[in-house]
Amino acid sequence: MSFSQLSFVFLFLPVCLLGYFLTPKQAKPFALLIFSLLFIAWGNPRDLVFIGGSVVFHYFSGLQVEHADRAGKKGLKKAVVITTVAADLLLLGFFKYYTFLWAQLAAVLPLPAAVSVPVAPVGVSFFTFSVLSYLLDVSAGRVKAQRSLWKLALYVCFFPKLVSGPIAAYEQMEAQLAAPALSRANVESGSRRFVVGLAKKVLLANTLNGFFAALTDPAAQPSVLGVWLAVFSYAFMLYFDFSGYSDMAIGLGRVFGYHLPENFRYPYLSGSVTDFWRRWHISLGAWFKNYVYIPLGGSRAGTARTVCNLAVVWLLTGLWHGANWTFVVWGLYHLALLLCEKFILRKPLAKTPGFVRGVFTFVLVILGWVFFFNPTLPAAGRMLAGAFGYHMPAVSNGSLYTLLSAGAWLAVAAVGCTPLPAKLGRAVTRRGGVWSGLATAAVFALLLAACIAGMMNDTFASFLYAQF
């Protein structure tokens, strides 16, 4: 079930909110767990078995790790951690990478056809990182093992973050599990955040998806202008799709009294690729930094070791997004950009005007998305070559028509990627008074109405990051 489906907005969410706020304060977290399990079962009841089994497995693993640590049994502790992490990665690998890896081996070895892989459980990448976070935090002594099975289940299954994050580390949520910060202010701000996220998804991402689909249709006449329009459309579509989901997740969490970490901070305004990755999918970057990069040694063991550690992180980041060589190349592409910034271009970039660095970074990042949305490396290569005029006309009738149709939407999207809309919104809400309150309510009511109209008229488009 998606947050931008009518069944969620008009059925599941109202029932969930009514049941949650009518439940006594002490039982609210448990009620929220029940609704989270219903959310999982809505999509596929089988997922309850898989996710529930994972929760129970990590519950006992965490207790065993803590017990071994207290007893000074370092070998047992290490064995439990390695076994649990290996089980997590094997299951994740089976669902996401088995078919890809088998195909690579079958290309060089006489192997039989791969077995059919069942549909992956909802949010498998995200909840796997959640349970790994719990186990590794317990192992490192940052938190105590959770004695309450239902509290651990709530952390893993909390439906706002389950499908596409943000990836909240266990350490960030431990204190909140049994004590949600319920307040009228949180409900109001969380509701506004949810509507903003819904608008990003329904009004902007879905509209831009239509332009992108038309520009990349095999029947469309290719042109340089068409390629760049497709790249811009996808770049903005991906941003509003994913940041929109994050806004909805953070907003819903706030309504229920839970704080989820921010996931985006105007990434397309970054002055470097390094800065971009501090602003884009922040929770994923933090996860890899805390649980992969730093444990490998980070940048503390010399240049060669730093490069190797970064290479591991970016290879894993690429593979995390999908089982395809295009994602591997995308990860290595960003690795190369980061290494250039860190070791080669540091001094020249420091002397370059901020605006120039910003434009240069934006172009490099959106060109990288070409590997993201193309199914094969040759297709990505042809599109990149076409962007610079190789064997492709400058314009076509189709690209000119799309420019006229999409130009205004792309301009709105460009403004939406800046802090300007948020500043205007804060300026209205901070003024206070009855008229300001009525104006705010009217704006968000109209925005919600537009979203509902969009959901009723448009063909349903799932969240892009749900596939990762």
- The SS3 of residue 183 is coil
Residues 6+ apart with CB under 8 A from 335: 310, 311, 314, 315
**Dihedral sign from CA coordinates of 302, 303, 304, 307:** positive
Whole-Å CA distances, 14 to 233, 355, 374? 34, 46, 39
Contact indicator for 174, 54 with CB cutoff of 8 Å? no
Give first-to-last CA distance, the chain, whole Å: 16
Q: CA-to-CA distance for 86 and 351, rounded, in angstroms? A: 46
Q: CA-to-CA distance for 341 and 263, rounded, in angstroms? A: 23
List, by residue number, the catalytic residues.
321
Angle (deg, nearest 10), helices 325-339 and 303-321: 150
Q: CA-to-CA distance for 84 and 90, rounded, in angstroms? A: 10
Residues 6+ apart with CB under 8 A from 289: 313
**Burial (0-12, 13-18, 19+ Cβ within 10 Å), 75:** exposed
Q: CA-to-CA distance for 236 and 220, rounded, in angstroms? A: 21
CA neighbor of 369 nearest in space, from 208, 223, 247: 208
